[in-house]
Amino acid sequence: MNIHRYERWWLTFGVTMLVAFLALIGFAAFADNINPPSDMQQIDPTKVAQTPPFDRPGPRRTGADSYEAYYVARVFSFDPAVLRVPAGSLVRFYVTSADVVHGFFIPKTDINMMAVPGWVNTQEHRFTRPGEYLLICHEYCGLGHQDMFAKIEVR
Partner 1 sequence: MQAMTQVRAENRVVIAHVYTATAAIALGAVFGVFQGFARTSAFAAPAWFDYYRVLTMHGVLMALVFTTFFITGLALFVTYRAIPRERKLGMGWFGWGLMLVGTAMAAATILRGDATVLYTFYAPLKASPWFYLGATLLVLGTWVVAFEVFENVNYFRKANPGAAVPLVVFCAAATFVMWVVATLGVVAEMGLLIPWAFGWTPGINVMLTRMLFWYFGHPLVYFWIMGAYVIWYNIIPLRYGGNVFSDGLTRLTFIMLILLSTPVGIHHEFMEPGISPAWKMLHTITTYGVAIPSFITAFAIFASFELAAIKAGRRGFIATVKGLPWNDPTFSGAALGMLLFILGGFGGLVNASYSMDTVVHNTIWIVGHFHVTVGGPVALTFLGAAYWMIPRLTGRALWKPELALFQTRLWFFGMLIMSLSMHYAGLLGAPRRTADVGYLGASGANAWQPFMLLAAAGGFFLFCSILAFVAVAVGTLLQNAKTEPMEAAFATPAQPASATPGALQHLYRWGALALVLAVAAYAGPLGELLRHPGYLAPGMRTW
38 is a contact residue toward partner 1 (CB under 8 A): yes
Among the candidate windows 50-58, 63-71, 81-89, 132-140, which touches partner 1 by CB under 8 A? 132-140
Among the candidate windows 32-40, 51-59, 60-68, 84-92, which touches partner 1 by CB under 8 A? 32-40
145 is a contact residue toward partner 1 (CB under 8 A): yes
114 is a contact residue toward partner 1 (CB under 8 A): yes
Q: What is the 3-state secondary structure (H, E, C) of the chain?
A: CCCCHHHHHHHHHHHHHHHHHHHHHHHHHHCCCCCCCCCCCECCHHHHHHCCCCCCCEEEECCCCEEEEEEEEECCEEECCEEEECCCEEEEEEEEECCCCEEEECCCCCCEEEECECEEEEEEEEECCCEEEEEECCCCCCCCHHHCEEEEEEC
Instruction: Find the shortest distance in angstroms from Cβ 52 to partner 1.
Output: 18
99 is a contact residue toward partner 1 (CB under 8 A): yes
Q: Which of 87, 128, 129, 140 binds partner 1 (CB under 8 A)?
A: 140
User: Residue 96, Cβ neighbours under 10 Å: how many?
Assistant: 29
Give dist(CA 42, CA 55) in Å, integer. 15
49 is a contact residue toward partner 1 (CB under 8 A): no
84 is a contact residue toward partner 1 (CB under 8 A): no
45 is a contact residue toward partner 1 (CB under 8 A): yes
Give dist(CA 25, CA 150) in Å, integer. 32
Q: Which residues here bind partner 1, judged by CB under 8 A?
A: 1-4, 6-7, 10-11, 14-15, 18, 21-22, 25-26, 28-29, 34-45, 75, 99-101, 103, 105, 107-108, 110, 112-114, 116-121, 131-134, 136-146, 149, 151
